[in-house]
Structure 1
Amino acid sequence: MDFERCYRAVDSRDQRFDGWFYTGVTSTGIYCRPSCPATTPKRQNVRFFPSAAAAQGAGLRACRRCRPDAAPGSPQWDVRADVVGRAMRLIADGVVDRDGIPGLAARLGYTERHLHRMLRAEMGAGPLALARAQRAQTARVLIETTGLGMAEIAFAAGFGSVRQFNDTVREVYAIAPSELRAARGRHQAPVGAGTITLRLAYRPPLHARALLDFLSVRALPGVEEVRDGTYRRGLRLPHGAGEVALTPADGHVAATLRLADLRDLAPAVARCRRLLDLDADPVAIDATLAADPALAPAVAAEPGIRVPRAVDGFELAVRAIVGQQVSVTSARTTLTRLLAARDRVDHEVGGSDGDRTPGQPHDQRGLRGFPSAEEVLGVPDEGFGMPVGRRETVRALARAVADGELDLASGGDREETVQRLLALPGIGPWTAGYLAMRAFGDPDVLLPTDLAVRRGAAALGLPDTAKTLDAYAERWRPWRSYATIRLWRAA
């Protein structure tokens, strides 16, 4: 938050800093993104804030031109493993709306008072204010993209009353909810009930083809698909089922969400952003990797490579276990059998359409969320289609998750979770590292024993034994996860 560095970023309208901090202009009472196209404010009228909630707490309203509340998330909070970083991810996933501040504090293992103190010190606002800022953004999206009544929007966005909703929208946007809808009404797309369309911002560059390539070859029938430049998948969300279509475009990812319960909008958006790694800082990452002459040509040819992550930690853990020491194609075949066995069990108990969004066409009901831990435990032995040892590892994982002994959410403690994973029979360093990279968002994971990683290293003229590659990769810190993706592509 150095004033001179922040002011230079604002003066140059540098998009890379959107979401890192927010610019408050005291003379106008407005806060903006660093890249706002408005005239650069005078120094004496400028204050910088670490969060939108902090700016709102200072009595400033969001700029209607640059929409700072819809800026990319801070890459710092996206990758940090400390308590504040974890808290920010859990708040984004709607934990405060569902469980309140006590629930958030319990998930993090701190008292409410101490948690409030830590967030105030780093974010300039407490957990309730941070959640309130998110509710305001969710409300704006629903106001502008749906035809729902204001009372429905208020409760879907997480507000406790319509009055609280009205007061917050007026305070954050300096306009009544009805006026906000009227101002954007002509831009509304005709969509069905429970359907929301929005743009997910990111920091350029974004190598969309690399993301879609990675997801396409691993796509599980009935759960996800990649077609015509769009990734679609079913979602298992806190209040019900959902489905999303994500289409990378210039400067944003177009998202169309179909939700059984609109209270799941904020967690659905957070999970989609996490899946595509949209809060990364690609310029900083590529600069570090390009400093290595062996990687420089690949970085120049394909800037903006992201780490494809996950919408569901349990799903990725099952995928990782099934994928141990087998090809991607073989793992996909085995997982498809497991999904078919889940569907047979559902059909036998009369729940085959349980994850289909109301109003969803019958021919699209196949895009369901990945099975829950409880559903996996209900699959009979013959439904797994894998060696006994691997089957029992999947079951041990499912039991630990179902019993609450293992938290695979992005807001969990990474080190503790990795240690608990390693304590399960059949889970070793490769599986734990793979999950740390893709499920928990650790930006600095190398998988030196991975065959494809070593093949990619050899293709680029790098050391290709596990030990020598591990030592060489020290120069790529703290972005070894991104180097791993590039080595996979080189292979």
Structure 2
Amino acid sequence: MTRVTRTRRLSLPDGYHFRATLRSLLVVRYDPCGTLTDTDFWLSARTPEGPGSLHLARAGAELTATGHGPGADWLVDRADAFAGLRDDVSDFPALAAAHPLVARLARTFPGVRYPASGQVFHRLIRAILEQKVTGIEAHRAYRSMMKHFGEPAPGPAELLLPPDPEAVAATPYWTFHPFGVEQRRTQALLRAALVAARLERCVDSAEATRRLTAVPGIGPWTAAEVVRTAFGDADAVSVGDFHIPNTVAWGLAGEARGTDARMLELLEPFRGHRGRVCDLLAMGGISAPKFGPRMPIRSFAKF
């Protein structure tokens, strides 16, 4: 049996939303590295102190964090960050008041917080796989990759550990083809794996963004997707997204289509929380009118 090194109890703020806060740490529906219900969350991780798994259990206004394996202390020490309790929203209501829709959404979803996992490479894998494909394709590739590289994680939840970057870096690109990942994304994954140790040592979102975007194949969109979850950066905007500029333009200005430049212009009054505004629009079901065909779901493994 894996030794549990420590248990920690945390108090939750009024209205805290457990599931909506933690869901960004996992691939929806099924993730070999974690599980989530309304009251329980499990996540495996490769920490600086070794492999481990974290269990967060909610009971009313209290959260119990339990760590398993060599990385347990590191995970339990960061349990409040994983749970989004380090996310400072104290100045957001005043900013949100500048726009009636944003103000209403802020009142509707006050308990959703930004987790800060401190896990850069694991989140980067997902972000690279999500480049320029549908969510279904990306999540299918992610699950296949986790199962291929995964090792059993400590703890009773029967999770797999995220891939070891060294193992990924040493893998020929054609191994990823059956996962449904073409050469372009595979090369970005391999480059990222080579510098994964340096990425994990980044002290904040700004440093991580600089280092990430210096890697060929990783642009502002991918970097923002990573730092929003790994560092809890509520200001990170996914520039280059297919849908978000239109959503922001429609929600904030009633314009059916928007560019990245227009999106950033409309989000500027919310600086410090620009990514939070984008997420609130999504949570509120705000979407621009749709024109034209949907992006097809493809299978690169069959090419």
- Shift in alpha-carbon separation, 1:409–1:452, aligned structure 2, 3 A: farther
The answer to whether the 8 A contact 1:203-1:282 is kept is no
The C-alpha deviation readout for 1:43-81, integer Å capped at 9, x for no partner, is xxxxxxxxxxxxxxxxxxxxxxxxxxxxxxxxxxxxxxx
- Letter in structure 2 aligned against 1:471: E
Give 2:228's aligned residue. 437
Matched, 1:485 2:276: no
User: What is the match of residue 292 of structure 1?
Assistant: 99
Match of 1:426 among 206, 212, 217: 217
3-state SS, counterpart of residue 198 of structure 1: strand
Identity across the alignment (%): 25
Partner Cα distance (1:212, 1:432) in 2: 20
Q: 1 CA distance for matches of 2:142 and 2:83?
A: 22
Task: Give 1:267's aligned amino acid.
Answer: W
1:140 paired residue number? none
Instruction: Give 1:220 shift.
Output: 5.2
Shift of 1:247: 2.8
Question: 1:274: how far off?
Answer: 2.4
- How many residue pairs match? The answer is 279
Deviation readout 1:140-183 (Å, 9 max, x if unpaired): xxxxxxxxxxxxxxxxxxxxxxxxxxxxxxxxxxxxxxxxxxxx
- Relative to the length of structure 1, the TM-score reads 0.51
Counterpart-to-counterpart distance in 2, 1:284 and 1:230? 30
Determine the structure 2 residue equivalent to 1:335: 142
Secondary structure, in 3 states, of the residue corresponding to 1:447?
Answer: coil
Unaligned runs of 5+ in 2: 286-303
Deviation at 1:453, TM superposition (A): 2.4
Match of 1:370 in 2: 162
1:392 paired residue among 187, 211, 216? 187
Give the TM-score taking structure 2 as reference length: 0.79
1:460 is paired with a residue of what secondary structure? Answer: helix
Give yes or no for contact 1:245–1:255 (8 Å, CA) kept in 2. Answer: yes
Counterpart CA distance in 2 for 1:236 and 1:220 is 20
Are 1:319 and 2:126 matched, yes or no?
A: yes
* 8 Å contact from structure 2 (residues 221, 237) kept in 1: no
Look up the equivalent residue of 1:395 and give its one-letter code.
L
Residue identity in the other structure for 2:209: V
Contact map agreement 2:44 2:52 (CA 8 A) in 1 = yes
Q: Name the residue aligned to 2:173.
A: 381
1: CA distance, partners of 2:146 / 2:26: 17
Query: Which residue of 2 is the match for residue 467 of structure 1?
Result: 261
* Structure with the larger RCO, 1 or 2 (CA within 8 Å, 6+ apart): 2
Q: Which amino acid aligns with 1:408?
A: E
Larger Rg: 1
Compare the two structures and name the one with the higher helix fraction.
Answer: 1
Structure 2 residue aligned with 1:182:
none
Residue correspondence of structure 1 range 41-120 to structure 2 within 5 A: none
Conserved? CA contact 1:230–1:247, under 8 Å: yes
- Between the aligned partners of 2:19 and 2:60, the Cα distance in structure 1 is 13
> Which sections of structure 1, spanning at least 5 residues, go unmatched?
1-190, 344-351
Instruction: Report what 2:88 is aligned to.
Output: 281
453 and 275 in structure 1: CA distance in 2 versus 1, 3 angstrom threshold: farther
Question: CA 1:449–1:289 in structure 2 vs 1: closer, same or farther (change >3 Å)?
Answer: farther
